[in-house]
């Protein structure tokens, strides 16, 4: 059983957690058409996790993915070897982060050699740590640690191009080596960062993506290979250049919030270069280049509820999100959500679980009604979007 | 406590030339049957099969069964009318990790381009020996009225009644 010491604070947290469990059960009862596992995954992402001592003793860096520093969105800010994330028995992932006990996280506990999620009482679901890729610990010919170039999910290889500029030869080498591990990866995701420099804004970013993707492409038999670029909102000319010169098969540019006023206020760094309406127009243009179901945008669900300018109610936010997602879907663009995690100590709390489940159902219904899928970023290839888990019953 | 699979069933599953059919239920309520020759019992006694295609109807139905607690059925049929039917439920699926990798290598060797989408584990709930001879004995014993009378008649009398003598 758990080796974590119970303190007065812990006791208080446990008493609150009892109410939180009711919320999960309430939401599950309210939405019998949504699998309980998806609701649980959403709630764990929402509330975060606390790894008990016995859970951490089951962490084996020779078998599991370990993060030495808090991953983006981590809410406890402590430096220590930490599990990267969790796998569930339906094959989906929970991308989650260690969270202080005061914020009422789920507990990941080690019980008789197995890992379980707990919510203040009995174990409620068995989970696993993410498996470690074979390439961990290797260096490129130029001496760069592979982990500075690529990060792994259970089936996805993610390469982040910003803020450091990566050497295409290093990237090609890492990808080539990663592909030697049988069955390990079924998705390649390039995160472009945001570099507005160039004769036309983002030309420099597009140039860098092209050189990286062309280098990666040398590892594949066919000119096109399953891949996703998560980048800025590019012009038609830039999109056509990307498509013509690389093997890229899908493109996403995240609006993060589906409202022009909130986009301006919450993402001024993006809005400065491409305003909300132009961003949407560029997404639609990208469908003409990459095809229906090959272009998407992401939002950070819950961010639109914060601050003095956010929506007053979750109902209002839901209506607006679905309305905008419908507009995009009519034009062949998909919308997915990740959970926005308020920083520790923030006055803004998490979005409610019911709001997130309604949003997941809404996005799923919209995609289905327009015959759209997001196969390049589904439960297996991405894993971070509860709404995409629901697409697993639809092919 | 998981149900232990009887030796006769496990032996049949491991025999060459048997047919293995997995039947699942779709979201629309319709059953879907598919040959799944990879159905097997591992050294720990767990029933599993290798799903070769992510987009297969069975794979989709298995996800729905795991999520919504719907049963699945496994039929294993050998020569001479020997067959067993197992009812169970999907317990978990593997899409990554050392065990998945082991099966991926095997599937790649055996099926080449097909690859491997998932390893599905099925928890047995009930098992039934449906072998022809056994079922015939069961029916005769438990349901003596379920028979055509000509099969019970003295052979000569039946022939006279048919006007052949």
Query: CA-nearest residue of chain A to B102?
Result: A182
Structure tokens at A40: 């649980």
Q: Are strands A86-87 and A93-94 parallel, antiparallel or unpaired?
A: antiparallel
Per-residue pLDDT, A9:
38
Per-residue pLDDT, B50:
97
Q: How far is CA A286 from CA A188, A274, B52, B76, in A?
A: 19, 15, 33, 50
Q: What are the backbone angles phi and psi of residue A107, rounded to the nearest 5°?
A: -100, 140
Rounded Cα gap, residues A225 and A209, in angstroms: 15
Q: What is the pLDDT of residues A166-203, one digit of tens each?
A: 999 999 999 999 999 999 999 999 999 889 999 999 99
Q: What is the pLDDT of residues B121-151, one digit of tens each?
A: 999 999 999 999 999 999 999 999 999 999 9
CB contact (8 A) between residue A91 and residue B95: yes
Residue A97's nearest CA partner among A117, A67, A61 is A67
Helix (H) or strand (E) holding A17: helix A8-30
Rounded Cα gap, residues A67 and A85, in angstroms: 9
Q: Which pLDDT band holds residue B66 (cuts at 50, 70, 90)? A: very high
* First-last CA distance in chain A: 42
CB contact (8 A) between residue A35 and residue B100: no
Rounded Cα gap, residues B123 and A88, in angstroms: 17
Contacts of B67 in chain A (CB under 8 A): 35-38, 90
Structure tokens at B99: 């065990």
Q: Can you tell me whether residue A51 is helix, strand or coil?
A: strand
Per-residue pLDDT, A394:
83
Query: CA-nearest residue of chain B to A133?
Result: B97
Rounded Cα gap, residues A324 and A328, in angstroms: 6
CA-based R_g, chain A, Å: 21
Q: What is the pLDDT of residues A131-173, one digit of tens each?
A: 999 999 999 999 999 999 999 999 999 999 977 789 999 999 9
* First-last CA distance in chain B: 63
Structure tokens at A24: 């999960």
Give yes or no for residue A326 having a pLDDT over 90: yes
Residue of A91, A154, A182 with shortest CB distance to B104: A182
Residue B26's nearest CA partner among A73, A394, A327 is A394
Q: Which pLDDT band holds residue B28 (cuts at 50, 70, 90)? A: confident
pTM of the model: 0.90
Produce one character per residue of A19-57: b if its CB has 16 or more CB atoms within 10 Å, e if not: ebbeebeebbeebeebbbbbbbbbbbbbbbbbbbebbbe
For the segment A196-224, the average pLDDT, to the nearest whole number, is 97
Cis peptide before A104 (omega within 30 of 0): no
Q: Which residue has the tokens 């409610």?
A: A352
Query: Interior CA angle at A129 toward A125 and A133, to 5°?
Result: 150
Q: What is the pLDDT of residues A81-116, one digit of tens each?
A: 789 999 999 999 999 888 888 888 999 999 999 999
Tell me, what DSSP letter sits at residue B50? E
As a 3-state breakdown, chain B gives helix, strand, coil percent values, each rounded to 5, of: 35, 30, 35
List the single best residue of B53, B93, B97 to mutate versus A (max A Cβ within 10 A): B97
Tell me how close the Cα of A154 comes to any Cα of chain B, in angstroms: 6
For the segment A317-338, the average pLDDT, to the nearest whole number, is 98
For the segment A213-230, the average pLDDT, to the nearest whole number, is 97
Q: CATH number for B7-129: choose from 3.30.70.890, 3.40.50.180, 3.40.720.10, 2.30.110.10.
A: 2.30.110.10
CB contact (8 A) between residue B98 and residue A36: no
Rounded Cα gap, residues B75 and B22, in angstroms: 7
CB contact (8 A) between residue A380 and residue B66: no
CB contact (8 A) between residue B94 and residue A91: yes
Number of cross-chain residue pairs from A and B with Cβ atoms under 8 Å apart = 58
Residues 6+ away with beta carbon under 8 Å from A145: A138, A139
CB contact (8 A) between residue B108 and residue A182: yes
Residue of A90, A131, A181 with shortest CB distance to B66: A90
Give yes or no for residue A293 having a pLDDT over 90: yes
List the single best residue of A183, A222, A374, A393 to mutate versus B (max B Cβ within 10 A): A183
Tell me, what DSSP letter sits at residue A307? T
Give yes or no for residue A5 having a pLDDT over 60: no
Rounded Cα gap, residues B30 and B28, in angstroms: 6
For the segment A268-297, the average pLDDT, to the nearest whole number, is 97
Q: What is the pLDDT of residues A239-262, one digit of tens each?
A: 999 999 999 999 999 999 999 999
Q: What is the dihedral of CA A2, A41, A81, A51, to 10 degrees?
A: -20
Strand partners, A94: A86
Domain ranges of chain B: 7-129, 131-165
The rounded mean pLDDT for chain A is 90
Q: How many CB atoms lie within 10 A of CB B34?
A: 16
């Amino acid at each position: 059983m758990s080796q974590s010491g119970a303190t007065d604070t812990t006791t208080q947290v446990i008493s609150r957690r009892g109410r939180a469990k009711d919320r999960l059960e309430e939401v599950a009862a309210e939405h019998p058409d949504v699998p309980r596992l998806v609701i649980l995954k959403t709630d764990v992402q929402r509330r975060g996790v606390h790894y008990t001592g016995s859970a951490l003793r089951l962490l084996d860096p020779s078998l599991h993915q370990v993060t030495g520093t808090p991953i983006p969105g981590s809410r406890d800010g402590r430096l220590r070897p930490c599990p990267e994330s969790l796998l569930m028995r339906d094959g989906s992932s929970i991308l989650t982060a260690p969270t202080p006990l005061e914020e009422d996280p789920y507990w990941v506990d080690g019980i008789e050699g197995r890992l379980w999620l707990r919510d203040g009482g009995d174990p409620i679901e068995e989970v696993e740590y993410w498996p470690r890729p074979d390439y961990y610990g290797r260096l490129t010919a130029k001496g760069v640690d592979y982990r500075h170039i690529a990060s792994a999910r259970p089936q996805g290889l993610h390469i982040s191009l910003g803020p450091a500029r990566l050497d295409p030869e290093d990237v090609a080498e890492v990808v080539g080596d990663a592909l030697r591990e049988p069955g390990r990866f079924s998705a390649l995701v390039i995160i472009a960062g945001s570099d507005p420099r160039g004769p036309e804004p983002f030309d420099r970013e597009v140039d860098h993506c092209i050189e990286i993707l062309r280098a990666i492409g040398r590892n594949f038999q066919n000119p096109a290979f399953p891949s996703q670029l998560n980048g800025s909102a590019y012009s038609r000319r830039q999109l056509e250049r990307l498509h013509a010169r690389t093997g890229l098969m899908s493109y996403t540019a995240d609006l993060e919030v589906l409202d022009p006023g909130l986009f301006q206020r919450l993402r001024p760094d993006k809005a400065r270069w491409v305003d909300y309406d132009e961003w949407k127009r560029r997404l639609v243009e990208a469908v003409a280049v990459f095809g229906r179901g090959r272009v998407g945008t992401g939002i950070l669900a819950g961010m639109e509820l914060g601050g003095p300018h956010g929506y007053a109610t979750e109902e209002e936010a839901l209506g607006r999100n679905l309305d905008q997602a419908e507009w995009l879907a009519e034009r062949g663009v998909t919308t997915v959500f990740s959970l926005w995690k308020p920083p520790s100590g923030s006055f803004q709390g998490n979005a409610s679980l019911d709001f997130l489940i309604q949003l997941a159902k809404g996005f799923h219904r919209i995609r289905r009604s327009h015959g759209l899928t997001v196969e390049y970023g589904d439960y297996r290839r991405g894993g971070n979007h509860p709404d995409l888990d629901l697409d697993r019953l639809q092919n | 406590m998981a149900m232990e699979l009887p030796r006769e069933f496990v032996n049949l599953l491991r025999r060459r030339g048997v047919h293995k059919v997995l039947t699942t239920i779709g979201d629309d309520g319709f059953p879907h049957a598919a040959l799944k020759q990879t159905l097997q019992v591992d050294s720990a006694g767990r029933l599993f099969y290798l799903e070769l295609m992510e987009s297969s109807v069975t794979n989709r139905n298995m996800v729905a069964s795991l999520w919504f607690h719907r049963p699945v059925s496994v039929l294993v049929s050998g020569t001479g009318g020997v067959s067993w039917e197992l009812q169970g439920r999907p317990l978990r699926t593997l899409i990554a990790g050392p065990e998945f990798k082991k099966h991926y290598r095997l599937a790649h060797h055996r099926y080449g381009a097909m690859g491997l989408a998932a390893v599905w584990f099925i928890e047995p709930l009930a098992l039934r020996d449906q072998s022809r001879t056994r079922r015939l004995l069961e029916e005769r014993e438990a349901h003596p009225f379920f028979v055509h009378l000509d099969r019970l008649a003295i052979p000569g009398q039946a022939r006279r009644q048919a006007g052949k003598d």
